C-alpha cells in the first residue's frame, strides 16, 4: 500500500512540473539588464538610431511590437541596426527585458 501511495505521489509531482506554467518574466530584473545592454540606444524609451521607432506605447503598437512575444523576438534576433542578443543574454533575461519595456511603455517611460 505504501508503495502505491509513493508511486502516486511521484506521478502527481512529475505531472505538476511537466504541465506547470513557465515562470513569469521579471520586469525589475529586466530593468537592470536593459540599463546594461539597451540604454545606450534606448535611454528613456527613445531610439537614438531611428527616432521614429521609439519604445513608446504608441510606437510599439504602431509597429506591432506591443507584446512580450514581439519584443522577445526583436531582442533575440535583432533587426536592421539592432543587434541580436541571442547567445549574449539568456532566454529568461530577454523575457525580463521585454516585460520591463512593456511596463515602462505602458507607464509612459
CA-to-CA distance for 76 and 92, rounded, in angstroms?
11
Q: What would the grid cell of residue 38 be?
A: 539597451
pLDDT at res. 3: 76
pLDDT in tens, 33-71: 999 999 999 999 999 999 999 999 999 999 999 999 999
- Residue of 43, 25, 22 whose CA lies nearest to 34: 43
* Residue 30, SS3 per DSSP: helix
CA-to-CA distance for 39 and 46, rounded, in angstroms?
9
Please report the domains of the chain, with CATH numbers, ordered by start residue.
25-107 (1.10.760.10)
Residue 11 has pLDDT above 70, yes or no: no
Residue 90 has pLDDT above 80, yes or no: yes
Per DSSP, 21 falls in state P
What confidence tier does 76 reach under pLDDT thresholds 50, 70, 90?
A: very high
Q: What is the mean pLDDT of the chain?
A: 89
Amino acid at each position: 500500500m505504501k508503495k502505491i501511495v509513493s508511486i502516486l505521489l511521484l506521478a502527481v509531482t512529475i505531472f505538476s512540473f511537466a504541465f506547470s506554467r513557465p515562470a513569469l518574466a521579471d520586469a525589475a530584473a529586466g530593468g537592470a539588464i536593459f540599463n546594461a545592454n539597451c540604454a545606450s540606444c534606448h535611454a528613456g524609451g527613445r531610439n537614438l538610431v531611428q527616432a521614429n521607432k521609439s519604445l513608446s506605447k504608441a510606437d510599439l503598437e504602431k509597429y506591432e511590437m506591443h507584446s512580450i512575444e514581439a519584443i522577445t523576438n526583436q531582442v533575440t534576433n535583432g533587426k536592421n541596426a539592432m543587434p541580436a542578443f541571442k547567445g549574449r543574454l539568456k532566454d529568461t533575461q530577454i523575457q525580463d527585458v521585454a516585460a520591463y519595456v512593456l511596463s515602462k511603455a505602458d507607464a509612459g517611460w
